[in-house]
Structure 1
Amino acid sequence: MSTLDTASPESTVRGRSGEHVWLSFAVRRLVRLLVSVWVLLTAAFGMIHVIPGDPVRAALGQNAPAALVEARRAALGLTDPLWQQYLRYLGDLFTGHFGTSMSTGLPVSQVIADRLPATVEIAGYAFLVAVVVAVPLGAGMAVLTRGGRRGRTELAFTSTTVVLAAIPEFLLAVGLVFVFAVSFGWLPVAGRGDPASYLLPVAALAIGPAAVLSRIVRVEMLAVLHADYVRTARAKRLPSAVVYLRHALPNALTATLTVAGMLLGAMVAGTVLVENVFAWPGLGSTIVQSIIAKDYPQVQAVVLVYGLGVLLVNLVVDVAIAVLDPRSLKKEG
């Protein structure tokens, strides 16, 4: 926070016994995380009993003898009561056993270990690109258009970001492939290989979130530019770079960080469609292939990985906001 604030966040929290506030914060977040994980695990388990079709029949083929199908179902424990299957499922997860793929016969944990890095790469790169583009763009537009200045520039920025944010990742990915890979032949159509193969999938994931985040940054920056401590900094004739970068921008990033965390979760989910457009060998393409093959243990495990990833991102964002703005702890208390 700005050094020109009348009361520092640290002193605000310290006045309410800082250690107690942080302990209460940690307990609340831990309880929320545990409840969310339990809901996620239960939903993933129930999913395989709701999706129509027989996974064993799909794995063995429609012409497989009924006796073989029943024997396979018994071996997998699918004939046991539902509560027994649920307890066994939880026990296996706590021991790190995700089951065996019905379509490949490989341990699901091995499939996840092989495919997860590819998904993390494009989601992580896309998030970095979105933040690196959105923060200076939004802050710069706030400075240029503050006080109603440059109305046409503001209209162009708002219109462009609204359109870009409204385009689904899947449609954007198809458009990028058509323009840069098919029409001009500048970039690879699909696959994960040299650095050029990362450009289109990362762009498909990053463009929409960057448009959304840049608008949030602009709105927050405009509000901060009218704050008393910014006017005080200007009255002291501080250089513009110091006013904007030291006093204004850090105070505008708290809400931006919250939105960025939400967008990162959306990016992780968006990899499912984008990976299938670019034949990217990650978890997104794996889950679609598993659904088609009715490979429910693999679907179940991949859904868990995606869900846990989103929960961890939200936890990290909550902690980061508390560290950057300790007064948020007071608001929760």
Structure 2
Amino acid sequence: MSTPAHVDDASAAPRSRATRTRTLTPRFLAKHLVRFALSLTALLVASFAMIHLIPGDPLRKMLGPTAPKELVERRRHELGLDDSIPLQFVHYVQDVFSGDLGTSFISGQPVTQIVADGLPNTVALASLATLVALLLAIPLGMWGAIRTENGRNQGTESAFGALTGAAVAVPEYLYALVLVIVFALTLGWLPPAGLTGPASYILPVIALAVGPAAMIARVARVETLRELGSDYMRLARAKRLPAGRLYARHLQPNTLTATLTMGGLLLSGLITGSVLVENVFAWPGLGLRTVEAITQKDYPVAQAVILVYGAIVLGVNFVVDVALGALDPKSALTAPTARQES
């Protein structure tokens, strides 16, 4: 039987454009919006409860054990902490949605301003680290799969697994310390701390990106091996397509779903997990503010940081879920919807 000269994208790839479009139904979006709303409610309750679960009196800890009782009570009334718990929660939710996260116990600054000053630097650092990790990991994982397909090059497979496994196992703060000692203090090539220009991003981005890049490379290799054994790749190879077109046009798009999904989750993880790296590099981000707030018992700042970090994780997870529904209707998240509509 004769076959066409070129492998058509619709027949070669198992995910058609029509199928992708059908999965993003109002029911699908509503389900994830409800899940997001419930998770956000739980986050608000948890962040509010944080102050009330702290052993002892937070105001007494802030003002000191020798502070006059009248001063403590006056501050308690000013902060609304003498109201009932349900009324405090209502006021807290109203303040959060109006953009009022309270006032720092230590500096007297509005907490909203503290978050606004630190969050962009943290997001910029995490975004660059995620981009670097993806740009390194996807080609590395695909190369590892192509080199070791069908059990070939066992030495390459062993080296790939050992190196990426070791890279994942090393904590990010340890990468940060080594990078500072070698490239900043010993060689003097890069600034050791602070945000003084574009060069300041290099060391913290590397420290944050190495482990995730190794982890994503392992996932990309597994996904690539799975796709290499699929029917559409065998058909594409039967047409004797050039290697560049075979891998770039047909293989890569179908290996990106799980990898990019992991990359999206990685972004939220790096934003919330960069606290230690930010402190090693004295990075003026939210992570540095978090440690300062905890050590100084600045509870409104710590409470706000928990809320902001949680909202970021929930928001990124929601976007990833919706994006995964658009890219891969056969995923576990969208399979029920797809079956009902088929």
TM over 0.5: yes
The answer (yes or no) to whether the contact 2:204–2:277 under 8 Å persists in 1 is yes
Query: How many Å separate the matches in 2 of 1:242 and 1:196?
Result: 37
Query: How many Å separate the matches in 2 of 1:131 and 1:6?
Result: 23
Q: Name the residue aligned to 1:275.
A: 278
Q: Quickly say closer, same or farther: Cα 1:176–1:52, change in 2 above 3 A.
A: farther
Query: How many Å separate the matches in 1 of 2:281 and 2:15?
Result: 49
Q: Does 1:169 align with 2:172?
A: yes
Query: How many Å separate the matches in 2 of 1:265 and 1:284?
Result: 13
SS in 1 for 2:82: coil
Q: Name the residue aligned to 1:246.
A: 249
Report the more deviating stretch, 122-131 or 140-149. 140-149
- RMSD of aligned residue pairs (Cα, Å): 1.9
Query: How many Å separate the matches in 2 of 1:311 and 1:322?
Result: 17
After TM superposition, list the pairs within 5 Å mapping 1:67-78 onto structure 2: 67-78=70-81
Q: Quickly say closer, same or farther: Cα 1:132–1:59, change in 2 above 3 A.
A: same
Structure 2, unaligned runs of 5 or more:
1-7, 338-342
Shift in Å, 1:327: 4.1
What TM-score, normalized by structure 2, do the two folds share?
Answer: 0.91
The answer (yes or no) to whether the contact 1:162–1:211 under 8 Å persists in 2 is yes
Q: Name the residue aligned to 1:295.
A: 298
Amino acid of the residue matched to residue 332 of structure 1? Answer: P
Q: Name the residue aligned to 1:9.
A: 16
Report the more deviating stretch, 195-204 or 175-184. 175-184
Where do 4+ consecutive residues of structure 1 move more than 6 Å?
none
Q: Name the residue aligned to 1:57.
A: 60
Shift in Å, 1:8: 4.9
Amino acid of the residue matched to residue 3 of structure 1? Answer: A
After TM superposition, list the pairs within 5 Å mapping 1:189-208 onto structure 2: 189-208=192-211
Q: Does 1:156 align with 2:159?
A: yes
The answer (yes or no) to whether the contact 1:173–1:201 under 8 Å persists in 2 is yes
Query: How many Å separate the matches in 1 of 2:151 and 2:83?
Result: 68
Number of residues paired by the alignment? 329
Structure 1, unaligned runs of 5 or more:
none
Q: Quickly say closer, same or farther: Cα 1:255–1:297, change in 2 above 3 A.
A: same
Q: Does 1:256 align with 2:263?
A: no
Shift in Å, 1:58: 3.6
What TM-score, normalized by structure 1, do the two folds share?
Answer: 0.93
Among candidates 225, 231, 245, match of residue 234 of structure 2: 231
Among candidates 319, 323, 328, match of residue 322 of structure 2: 319
SS in 2 for 1:63: coil
Query: How many Å separate the matches in 1 of 2:320 and 2:55?
Result: 37
Q: Quickly say closer, same or farther: Cα 1:173–1:27, change in 2 above 3 A.
A: same
Amino acid of the residue matched to residue 187 of structure 2? Answer: F
User: Identical aligned pairs, as a percentage?
Assistant: 51
Shift in Å, 1:308: 0.9
Q: Name the residue aligned to 2:43.
A: 40
